[in-house]
Amino acid sequence: MKEISEQPAPPPPGLSVTDESLYRHLSEHVSSEAEFIAAYRELAEAQDTPAAARYLIQLVLEDEERHHRILHEIVTAIGTGGGWGNDADAVPDLPYGPPDRALAEVTSRFLAAERADQKQLRALRKELRPYRDSSLWALLLELMEHDTAKHIRMLAFLRNHVGLQPNR
């Protein structure tokens, strides 16, 4: 993961009042999270942290680091004019043009697979109920269900929006 400065970056010149406000707000949030992420990392690496706690904290830390990176990429996109630049550290904007039929077909197949996986995970978690107070297994499967729901949301967005002209 690219190291991100703990100090908020000043907004670049030329942003609208709305974009500058959003840029400042998100930059401050990214900066304030850096200390929080460091505290998670310290706890995950502490020798006296129980193994199960270290395992779960490491999963949280991975999510927090990804969230931190995504927020940084949004800030970068705002600073470069909404993603119109070629900055690899910026969230790309939705493309213009006709819908990409091949991508829509593949996305539909992925959606079907994720929905099937969602059902399987739910069934597996129910099978693991007897272990819910003695292991992390049921919790981890529940978290995987949440991830699968997130994947379904992202794929549905992709299927419905990629290639369509955004409303600006």
* Tokens describing residue 32: 């304030």
Most confidently predicted of 77-91, 102-116, 150-164? 102-116
pTM of the model: 0.81
Lowest mean pLDDT among 1-15, 20-34, 57-71, 137-151: 1-15
Q: What's CA 106's distance to the chain center, in Å?
A: 22
Average pLDDT over residues 36-42: 94
Mean predicted confidence (pLDDT) in 84-113: 82
Is the pLDDT score of 2 beyond 90?
no
User: What pLDDT is attached to residue 6?
Assistant: 60
112-160 tens-digit pLDDT: 999 999 999 999 999 999 999 999 999 999 999 999 999 999 999 988 8
The two tokens of residue 144 are 């995987």
* pLDDT score recorded for residue 84: 53
- Torsion-angle region of residue 73: left (phi > 0), alpha (psi -120 to 50) or beta? alpha
Distance CA 86, CA 141 (A): 38
Burial 21-37 (b: 16+ CB within 10 A, else e): ebbbebbebbbebeeeb
- Rank 10-19, 35-44, 72-81 by mean pLDDT and report only the highest: 35-44
In 10 A of CB 105, how many CB atoms?
A: 11
- State the virtual CA torsion across 20, 22, 23, 27 in degrees, nearest 10: 140
Could you report the per-residue pLDDT of 108-118, keeping only the tens digit for each? 999 999 999 99
10 pLDDT more than 90? no
DSSP for the chain, please give it. -----SSPPPPPTT--HHHHHHHHHHHHHHHHHHHHHHHHHHHHH-TTS-HHHHHHHHHHHHHHHHHHHHHHHHHHHHHTTSS-S--TTSPPPPPPSS--HHHHHHHHHHHHHHHHHHHHHHHHHHHTGGGTTT-SHHHHHHHHHHHHHHHHHHHHHHHHHTTSPP--
pLDDT at 125: 93
